[in-house]
Amino acid sequence: MRIAAEEFAARREALAARLAERGLSGCVLFDTHYISYYTGFSFIPTERPIAFALATDGRGGMLVPRLEVEHAQANAAVSEVAHYDEYPGERHPMESLVELLGSLGVRERLGADHDGYPWVFGYRGPSLGELGSPPAPVADLVEDQMAIKSEGELALLRESCKWANLAHTLLQRYTRPGVSETEVENRASTEATYAMLDAIGPIYRAQSQWFDGAVAGYRGQIGRNAAIPHALPNNIVFQAGDVLVTGATAPVWGYHSELERTMVIGPPSDEQKRLFDHMVALQDLAIASIRPGAPCAEVDRVVRAYYEEHGLSDNWRHHVGHAIGLRYHEGPFLDRGDETVIEPGMVFTVEPGLYAPALGGFRHSDTVAVTADGVEWLTYYPRDLESLTLPA
């Protein structure tokens, strides 16, 4: 129930081959999720630089601060873990990185995802270009590789969907007029997490920066606030007639699924029914348009044509969806500006929405995996209005 060491090695070998094709001697990666993808080492990024270096001969090494040495040695699937004392320290961490690159034979023709450690949490430091020659960008190679999920990754995503489904079931069960979103989502998420931990046992690892167990909530998308696609929690108290937009996930060894539903408290009005039905039709159309060989842009174009045909353009706010995996948002995107060709193994959220400021928002999101002849639905929560209508 985790990615095997052999798969991490295969990922590094594939990246090394692509680096060689570009005439590079190796690369250095600073992005947290890139490092996790190639080494299995998950950590909390701070002002202390952490980097993964890879030579085209397949040798790889980590640079970590002293406080992460044992953590990296126990969890990183690489043979060398170098360290520096502290940041800023008497000797800047980038000097230690230069030494690590030299030990791997990566001195010139270097690739990188950033030209130096990003200036986050107060960090300041020299760029790689200032320490040598400017690196060639290689993030596209990493993103392309991450976009195609292995069977091991798909297994973790299916497990994530299972526990997100439970968290959402409890969220719906406990939602009623007079209680607040905070009370309901905390209760549902806590109970779902305990059930997950009981079922999987002590081997479970979240390995997520954002969540530490199964979660379900509303993020403030309640009543008229549901018309704000990315609202924030507001401890809103539920009332009869509210439109609710939910969200649920469960990180499983770093992998995230996405489940969202639109619910209504009390018998839905005619206008709520109308927008709900259009929303489901939009999602059905989008999923039917996802197939190997089609460009991502085509899915969005087909869906946008439905908006225009049915006079819903004023209710449009965002593209159809995005890839998902180690990050809860990944590329490619189901967007008219993304011509990436869809391939088997890609995993997308499919979430076209309708938003009416005076009424609320209407959005389901399901996680689907692209297969050789279509898609596999990974999420499986009910989508019909009757199942999603709560008693007032």
Pick 148-390's CATH classification: 3.40.50.150, 3.30.930.10, 3.40.190.10, 3.90.230.10. Answer: 3.90.230.10
Closest CA to 363 of 288, 304, 285, 279: 279
Residues 47 and 126 sit within 8 Å (Cβ to Cβ): no
* β pairing state of 243-245 and 136-137: unpaired
pLDDT at 79: 81
> Residue 103 burial by CB count (10 A; 0-12/13-18/19+): exposed, middle or buried?
middle
**What is the percentage of the chain residues whose pLDDT exceeds 90?**
97
pLDDT at 28: 97
Residue 326 sits at the vertex; the CA angle it makes with 128 and 212, to the nearest 5 degrees, is: 115
Residue 248, helix vs strand vs coil: strand
Q: For the chain, what's the residue count?
A: 392
Q: CB neighbours of 356 closer than 8 A, spacing ≥ 6?
A: 227, 271, 275, 315
Angle between helix axes 270-289 and 296-309 (nearest 10 degrees) is: 150
pLDDT at 362: 98
Question: Running DSSP on this structure, what letter comes out for residue 268?
Answer: P
Structure tokens at 136: 């060639």
239-265 mean pLDDT: 98
Domain 5-146 has CATH 3.40.350.10: yes
Closest CA to 193 of 224, 218, 208, 215: 215
pLDDT digits (tens, 9 = 90+) for 294-353: 999 999 999 999 999 999 999 999 999 999 999 999 999 999 999 999 999 999 999 999
139-166 mean pLDDT: 98
Please report where in the chains the tokens 């408290």 appear, as a residue: 265
Residue 89 has pLDDT above 90, yes or no: yes
pLDDT at 132: 87
Q: Is the pTM of this model over 0.85?
A: yes
Amino acid at 7: E
Question: Running DSSP on this structure, what letter comes out for residue 238?
Answer: P
Residues 37 and 330 sit within 8 Å (Cβ to Cβ): no
pLDDT at 1: 80
pLDDT at 207: 94
The count of C-alpha atoms lying within 13 angstroms of the C-alpha of 382, restricted to the half-sphere facing its C-beta, is 9
CA 357 to chain CA centroid, nearest Å: 28
Residues of the chain with CATH 3.90.230.10: 148-390
Q: What is the band of 211 on the pLDDT scale with cuts at 50, 70, 90? A: very high
Q: How far apart are CA 50 and CA 35, in angstroms?
A: 9
What secondary structure does DSSP assign to 59-128, as a single string? -EEEEEEGGGHHHHHHH--SSEEEEES-SS-SS-HHHHHHHHHHHTT--SSEEESSSSS---TT-----H
56-60 mean pLDDT: 94
Structure tokens at 69: 């040495």
Residues of the chain with CATH 3.40.350.10: 5-146
